[in-house]
C-alpha cells in the first residue's frame, strides 16, 4: 500500500510539475540556475553542474546564455582566481520572478477551474504535508 502511495504521488507530482512548466519561456536549465543563484547566492559553474546533476559542459552552455543575456554576472572567485563566481543580476531576478509568476498564474487558474471550493481546501490542507516530506527528503540526502 505504501509503495503504491509513494509511486502514485511521485507520478502525480512529476506530471504536475511538467504541466506547470509548460508555460515557461526560458529553458529549464537556465531557469534552474537562476533559481539556485537566487535562493543560495553566488556559485561556480561546477557547483551548479553538481547541483543540477548535469555535465560541466551542459551547465557551461546555460551559464553562457545567461551571461549573454545579462541575467547573471561573473567575477573571479576570492579563493581561487582560476574560477568564476556567478551572481544573479537584478535583470535575472526580474526574469525569474516573471517565470515564477507565469507558473503560479497557470496553476492558480487550473486550481480554480478544475476543483470545487471543498477540493481547493483539501488541496490547501495537503501543502504542509508536502513541505514536511520535502524537508525530510532534503535533510536525509545531506
> What does the chain come to in residues?
142
The string of pLDDT tens digits covering residues 27-68 is 999 999 999 999 999 999 999 999 999 999 999 999 999 999
Residue 72 is part of a domain; what is its CATH number?
A: 1.10.10.10
The x, y and z cell numbers of residue 4, run together, are: 503504491
**Number of domains present in the structure of the chain:** 1
The x, y and z cell numbers of residue 94, run together, are: 526580474
Do the domain assignments include residue 107? Answer: no
- Measured CA to CA, the distance from residue 87 to residue 103 in angstroms comes to 24
Q: Is 76 left (phi over 0), alpha (psi -120 to 50) or beta?
A: beta
Q: What pLDDT sits at residue 1?
A: 54
Q: What pLDDT sits at residue 141?
A: 76
Do the domain assignments include residue 5? Answer: no
Do the domain assignments include residue 82? Answer: yes
75: burial class by Cβ within 10 Å (0-12, 13-18, 19+)? Answer: exposed
Do the domain assignments include residue 118? Answer: no
**Domain of 84, in residue numbers:** 24-94
Do the domain assignments include residue 68? Answer: yes
Which helix H or strand E contains 85, and what residues bound it? strand 84-88
The x, y and z cell numbers of residue 112, run together, are: 480554480
The x, y and z cell numbers of residue 82, run together, are: 582560476
Do the domain assignments include residue 1? Answer: no
Q: What pLDDT sits at residue 2?
A: 62
Do the domain assignments include residue 66? Answer: yes
- Measured CA to CA, the distance from residue 15 to residue 101 in angstroms comes to 19
What is the percent of the chain where pLDDT is above 70?
Answer: 98
Query: In the block, which residue shows the cell 516530506?
Result: 133
Do the domain assignments include residue 56? Answer: yes
Instruction: Give every residue of the chain whose pLDDT is below 50, as ranges.
Output: none
Amino acid at each position: 500500500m505504501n509503495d503504491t502511495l509513494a509511486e502514485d504521488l511521485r507520478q502525480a507530482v512529476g506530471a504536475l510539475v511538467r504541466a506547470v512548466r509548460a508555460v515557461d519561456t526560458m529553458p529549464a536549465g537556465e531557469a534552474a540556475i537562476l533559481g539556485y543563484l537566487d535562493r543560495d547566492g553566488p556559485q561556480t559553474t561546477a557547483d551548479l553542474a553538481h547541483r543540477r546533476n548535469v555535465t560541466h559542459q551542459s551547465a557551461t552552455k546555460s551559464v553562457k546564455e545567461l551571461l549573454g543575456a545579462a541575467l547573471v554576472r561573473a567575477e573571479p572567485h576570492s579563493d581561487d582566481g582560476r574560477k568564476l563566481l556567478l551572481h544573479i543580476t537584478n535583470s535575472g531576478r526580474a526574469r525569474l520572478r516573471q517565470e515564477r509568476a507565469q507558473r503560479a498564474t497557470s496553476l492558480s487558474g487550473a486550481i480554480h477551474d478544475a476543483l470545487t471550493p471543498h477540493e481547493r481546501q483539501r488541496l490547501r490542507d495537503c501543502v504542509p504535508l508536502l513541505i514536511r516530506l520535502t524537508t525530510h527528503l532534503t535533510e536525509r540526502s545531506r
